[in-house]
Amino acid sequence: MSAEDDLLNENDDKEAKNSQSSENKGEGGGKKSVDDRNDGYENICAICRRTESAAGKMIKIHDGLCICSSCMQRSFDMMGSLNLTELLNGRTTPPVKNKGEGEEGNEENDDNGKNQNQPFPFSNFRIVIPHEMNRQQKIKPKKEKKRPDGENRPELKEMTLKDLPAPHKIKQKLDEHVVGQEHAKKVISVAVYNHYKRVLHEAENESETPVDNVTIEKSNMLMIGPTGSGKTYLLKTLANILNVPLAITDATSLTEAGYIGDDVESVLSKLLSNADNDVERAERGIVFIDEIDKIAKKKNAHQRDVSGESVQQGLLKLLEGAEIEVPVGATSKNAMVPMTTINTKNILFVCGGAFPDLEEIIKARLTKTSSIGFGADLKDKYDNDPDILSKVTVEDLREYGMIPEFLGRLPVVFSLRGLDVDMLKRILVEPQNAIIKQYQKLLEMDEVKLEFDDEALEEIAKLAMQKDTGARALRAILEQFMLDIMYEIPKDSMIGKVTITGDYIRGHGSPIISVRE
């Protein structure tokens, strides 16, 4: 007998012993339990479907599934021999090793390629999950993301040219929220309509070449008005009407680059944040820079003006239209903050300010040619003119401290009127979110009706005029007179109606309280 025959007999004996031991294990001599299984059933490999007695010890994975050590090892070998990208792209054929010199060819991967199209190991296997393991997962409802500015605005959607409202419709919506200021609302409606008509037309016809080569430039706005006249409220209402992102910032916090404070790019960071970090949506938004008069050039200043004229110069490139690198999620640039690029060509910038003492500059210009004699203008002719700000010119603003390059990028200049008693009375009751409507809704929760007579509204408006802070004074006055009422009403459940009278506002009486029927 040759050595080869001895080797074959020895292998046959080993196979017989292995088969006998596997039969003995199948009869109950093998391991039937790995950990705590006492139900009489064996674990089964999820890939090769062999029992634990035949495959050996199982490896438990997620949801009670088991995999034998052999299949797990082959899985690791497969992952090591395949590129992960090729595996994810669905490759099913194994990599073929080139035969080197002096190496014998593999019968499974010979030159004729008879097995080249065989599926890769485990490509036809799939994990079968038993019915009791296929549990239905509970899906939590998606929470609505809050806006960074805290406003409850609708979800920002892509606006088209057909969805853009006409100027008269924009003004009608503004009339529902803002009382008076007819000229200012008309100017804003036309300017915003022209701006977004240009932006949306260019976006929809981006692939087409313009025939006449006429490029429409944007028209930024400068809004001048006393405090409490509704500058900020106009822009907030406008952004809600158009459903576009809005960023409101104060120019008082801006400084020249390199100094402590916010850089001019911080206004774009707020706009990007309010647009849910969508650059395309932010590039169609509105930026309102309030308190713009606070960055006027200081007169007779002997030190560096880092928060005045320097900020005006820094804002020039934003107003004109340029690609600006903006930090995402922060207001300052540093190495740890990611950066993105925003093109300000289609962003509408609106600057607003109270410009105190600007009336004196306008009066001096208007009465500069006054003289003595018949037909001469008096020095005090414009002292009591409520519309003195409507006569403002670019020369007046330059004398106030605004540089000409900055004013040249704000071609639309308009003013808001100061509020009088009649306008304050209308502000109390007419707007959709009027202050008195807010108090009435609060008392409705206690099933109490609140009413104000005409004398009470008149007295509240007169008190607000004395404070000289515009519509902001109305809430402060109402908080003062409604304090005792809001404190006492929850005590007595019999109160059904409260009427505020003019005598109560003047301090000579008390509100009329009616018992619930």
* Model pLDDT, residue 378: 61
Is residue 230 within 8 A of residue 258, CB to CB? The reply is: no
Give Cα 405 to chain centroid, integer Å. 32
Question: Strand, coil or helix: what is 382?
Answer: coil
Residue 112 has pLDDT above 50, yes or no: no
DSSP code, position 35: S
Residue 57 has pLDDT above 50, yes or no: yes
* Model pLDDT, residue 461: 92
Ranges of beta strands (E only) in 162-237 are 221-224
Element (H, E) at 24: helix 3-24
Q: For a pLDDT cut of 70, what percent of the chain falls above it?
A: 69
* Model pLDDT, residue 458: 92
* Model pLDDT, residue 437: 92
Task: pLDDT band for 39, please (50, 70, 90 cuts).
Answer: low
Domain boundaries, the chain: 31-100+107-133, 167-415, 424-515
Phi, psi of 496 (to 5 degrees): -120, -20
Residue 477 has pLDDT above 70, yes or no: yes
Residue 106 has pLDDT above 50, yes or no: no
d(C-alpha 383, C-alpha 400), whole Å: 19
d(C-alpha 153, C-alpha 291), whole Å: 25
In terms of pLDDT, which residue wins out, 4 or 158? 158
Phi, psi of 288 (to 5 degrees): -110, 115
d(C-alpha 74, C-alpha 80), whole Å: 10
Residue 273 has pLDDT above 80, yes or no: yes
Most confident of 61-75, 239-253, 386-400, 441-455: 441-455
* Model pLDDT, residue 114: 45
Question: Strand, coil or helix: what is 100?
Answer: coil
Task: Kindly report the length of the chain.
Answer: 517
Residue 297 has pLDDT above 70, yes or no: yes
Query: pLDDT tens-digit profile of 425-446?
Result: 999 998 888 899 999 999 999 8
User: HSE on the CB side for 102, CA within 13 Å?
Assistant: 0
Query: pLDDT tens-digit profile of 157-198?
Result: 566 778 788 899 999 989 888 888 899 999 999 999 998 888
**Average pLDDT in the 46-68 region?**
82
Is residue 500 within 8 A of residue 451, CB to CB? The reply is: yes
d(C-alpha 363, C-alpha 349), whole Å: 29
* Model pLDDT, residue 158: 63
CATH entry 1.10.8.60 includes domain 424-515: yes
Query: pLDDT tens-digit profile of 262-272?
Result: 778 888 888 88
**Average pLDDT in the 42-54 region?**
84
Q: For a pLDDT cut of 90, what percent of the chain falls above it?
A: 18
For residue 129, give both structure tokens: 């999950």
Q: Which fold has domain 167-415?
A: Rossmann fold (3.40.50)
- Burial of residue 220 (CB within 10 Å: 0-12, 13-18, 19+) is buried
For residue 207, give both structure tokens: 């692939």
d(C-alpha 412, C-alpha 414), whole Å: 7
DSSP 483-503: HHHHHHGGG-TTEEEEEE-HH
Is residue 65 within 8 A of residue 52, CB to CB? The reply is: no
Q: Distance between terminal CA atoms of the chain?
A: 120
Considering just the CA atoms, what is the radius of gyration of the chain in Å? 39
- Burial of residue 170 (CB within 10 Å: 0-12, 13-18, 19+) is buried
Residue reference for tokens 């010119």? 393
Is residue 187 within 8 A of residue 411, CB to CB? The reply is: no
* Model pLDDT, residue 450: 92
Task: pLDDT band for 281, please (50, 70, 90 cuts).
Answer: confident
Residue 457 has pLDDT above 90, yes or no: yes
d(C-alpha 457, C-alpha 423), whole Å: 11
Query: pLDDT tens-digit profile of 302-357?
Result: 666 777 788 888 888 888 888 888 888 766 666 577 888 899 988 999 999 989 88
* Model pLDDT, residue 44: 85
